[in-house]
Structure 1
Amino acid sequence: MWREMEPDDRIEIDVMGYKVVAYSFGTGTETVFCLNGGPGLPCDYLRESHSCLVDQGYRVVAFDQLGTGASDRPTDPALWTIDRYVAETETVRNALGLGKVHMLGHSWGGWLAIDYALTYPENLKTLILEDTVADMPHLILELERLRAALGPETVAMMQKHEARGTIDHPEYLAAITILNYRHVCRLSDWPAPIQRSLADWNMGPYGTMQGPNEFLYIGNLKDWNRVADLPKITVPVLITCGEHDELTPACALRMKLNLPDAELHVIDNASHMPFFENPDGYYPVLLDFLARHRTVA
């Protein structure tokens, strides 16, 4: 189960002239390399929910992506592309000498992990895709379905504000808050690691790549779609999502059906943060997958 712990090492890495900060836990020969969501979020929430894997003998590595947390925060929007983040991820893996890793990507980190797996397949033992998608246009349709559950009057109100550019209006923000508590984290009190990440959110990368909130995708990734390329990913893949996830089970199934060696687990009573919302349902699935794909000495 998750708990907060201090990293064994905090490493500063030069990435294209910028400082990126990584955190390492444990000394196991098998490394779980975590790519957190956002974009623009510090890695706190994913780091703190997965550092506990050291209890099973794994090394766990996470890093604050450029523009987040303790890493440098340049303001050039040209930096906020998935291709540059793929190159950054490989620079971090190389700098830390991680060798082949179990790559774990959550949400936006899953999109990044998919593109990384297609670019550097030789560096992966397994791929773990958590609460993520491979087809953004399909996700946008699913988000419209989730929004529709608020009722036609509320949806019309949201569309009005989006068209006018007044998405900071209290009634629009109230609708987004309801959606967040339904589909991002269903706990009445969000755990401290989530709160820390959200409090330090850099909206520069987020707005450029995704959009202004979790339910409106208008950034440079709005047309991103890797479904046709998924058959090229031949390592074992674990897909997890919450039953109420904003990145829905239908999106998860689309990935599974196009991957040659994938298993899908939908976590009950959870949305986008199953490791916090239903740890009893989440961790056994992850640990079983990792145990089945450990390298036998």
Structure 2
Amino acid sequence: MWQDRRADREIRVDVGGHAVVAYEFGSGPDVLLCLNGGPGLPCDYFREALSFLAEHGFRVVAFDQLGCGASDRPEDPALWSITRYVAEVEAVRAALGLGRVHLTGHSWGGWLAIEYALTHPQNVRTLLLQNTAADLPHLMSELHRLRAALGPEAVAMMAAHEAAGRFTHPEYQAAITLLNYRHVLRLEGDWPAPVLRSLGDWNMAPYKAMQGPNEFLYIGNLKDWTRLDDLPSLHVPALITVGAHDEQTPACATRMAERLPQAELHLFAHSSHMPFYEEPEAFDRVLLSFLTRHRAA
């Protein structure tokens, strides 16, 4: 069950002359290295959802990626690339002496986890891909399908605002808000405090550079990113989780599962993009079962 708790340790890591702040919970030989979504989003929402694993003998490590949270926030746009973020993950892993890790990524963090695993396969014990995709052109086609459910008038309105660059127009934002409630976090009442903290401190510079203006339009430098055909080379146990109403849809998850040699796929029927808050007890059981079965010998 997710919890709002202080990290046992906070560590500053130098990454290319910039400070990145990491958070550790628990101890032990099995390390879960967590790559949260965004980009530009502090890791609060993800680390608080997974910190419970420290009570089961896992060392849980998360960090604020460069440009957000307690980490440095340089303004050089050349820094906002997946290649540089892969180097950042490796710098954190090496500096903290984590060894081979259970690598988990959520949303954008899943793209980063895939890219890291393909670049440094020797450092990955298992791969946990949460609410993510390996083929962004296919994902964009899925997002257009979700947008179409708003109706033809709304679709035409959104297209007109996007063509004119009017991403902050109230009419356009109303459609995005509805899509967020349908496909990002389907909860009645207030959203969990860790989610609100992360959203309230979002640095949109890396997000806009790499993804786009919102969750339902990909026009940044990652818009053509795909690693689907490279997944068969990853011969590690993999867990793929997805919500039935997820913005990064079950079709995206199925494509990954079909190509990863040792993949398990779990769909959460009552969730969208954050099953760890929408169905926390069911999510925790699935995650803990997978990690327990693949503990270090």
- Name the TM-score, length of structure 1 as normaliser: 0.99
* CA distance in 2: counterparts of 1:65 and 1:140, whole angstroms: 24
CA displacement at 1:62 relative to structure 2: 0.1
Q: SS where residue 66 of structure 1 aligns?
A: coil
Q: Which residue of 2 aligns with 1:141?
A: 141
* CA distance in 2: counterparts of 1:28 and 1:177, whole angstroms: 41
1:268–1:281 Cα contact (<8 Å) kept: no
What are the residue-to-residue correspondences of 1:117-266 with 2, within 5 Å?
Answer: 117-188=117-188, 189-266=190-267
One-letter amino acid of the counterpart of residue 155, structure 1: V
Q: Which residue of 1 aligns with 2:54?
A: 54
CA displacement at 1:4 relative to structure 2: 1.1
One-letter amino acid of the counterpart of residue 181, structure 1: Y
One-letter amino acid of the counterpart of residue 142, structure 1: E
What are the residue-to-residue correspondences of 1:278-297 with 2, within 5 Å?
Answer: 278-296=279-297
One-letter amino acid of the counterpart of residue 128, structure 2: I
* CA distance in 1: counterparts of 2:101 and 2:296, whole angstroms: 11
2:29–2:296 Cα contact (<8 Å) kept: no
One-letter amino acid of the counterpart of residue 216, structure 2: F
1:233–1:260 Cα contact (<8 Å) kept: yes
Please list every run of at least 4 consecutive aligned residues from structure 1 whose deviation after the TM superposition is greater than 4 angstroms: none
CA displacement at 1:182 relative to structure 2: 0.2
1:270–1:277 Cα contact (<8 Å) kept: yes
2:234–2:261 Cα contact (<8 Å) kept: yes
Q: Which residue of 1 aligns with 2:24?
A: 24
* CA distance in 2: counterparts of 1:165 and 1:123, whole angstroms: 42
Cα RMSD (Å): 0.6
Q: Which residue of 2 aligns with 1:274?
A: 275
Q: SS where residue 49 of structure 1 aligns?
A: helix
What are the residue-to-residue correspondences of 1:37-52 with 2, within 5 Å?
Answer: 37-52=37-52
Unaligned runs of 5+ in 2: none
CA displacement at 1:268 relative to structure 2: 1.5
Paired residue total = 296
Q: SS where residue 175 of structure 1 aligns?
A: helix
User: Cα deviation per residue 1:231-271 (whole Å; 9 max; x = unaligned)?
Assistant: 11110000001110000000000000011110100012000
CA displacement at 1:280 relative to structure 2: 2.1
* CA distance in 2: counterparts of 1:14 and 1:101, whole angstroms: 20
One-letter amino acid of the counterpart of residue 244, structure 2: E
CA displacement at 1:55 relative to structure 2: 1.2
Instruction: Give the fraction of aligned pairs with identical amino acids, expressed as a percent.
Output: 67
* CA distance in 2: counterparts of 1:79 and 1:116, whole angstroms: 17
* CA distance in 1: counterparts of 2:183 and 2:281, whole angstroms: 19
* CA distance in 2: counterparts of 1:28 and 1:3, whole angstroms: 20
1:268–1:278 Cα contact (<8 Å) kept: no
2:134–2:228 Cα contact (<8 Å) kept: yes
* CA distance in 1: counterparts of 2:222 and 2:191, whole angstroms: 28
* CA distance in 1: counterparts of 2:2 and 2:28, whole angstroms: 18
* CA distance in 2: counterparts of 1:294 and 1:224, whole angstroms: 32
* CA distance in 1: counterparts of 2:167 and 2:25, whole angstroms: 40
2:104–2:110 Cα contact (<8 Å) kept: yes
* CA distance in 2: counterparts of 1:177 and 1:165, whole angstroms: 18
Unaligned runs of 5+ in 1: none
Q: Which residue of 2 aligns with 1:72?
A: 72
User: Cα deviation per residue 1:20-70 (whole Å; 9 max; x = unaligned)?
Assistant: 000001012211000000000000000111011011110100000000100
One-letter amino acid of the counterpart of residue 269, structure 2: D
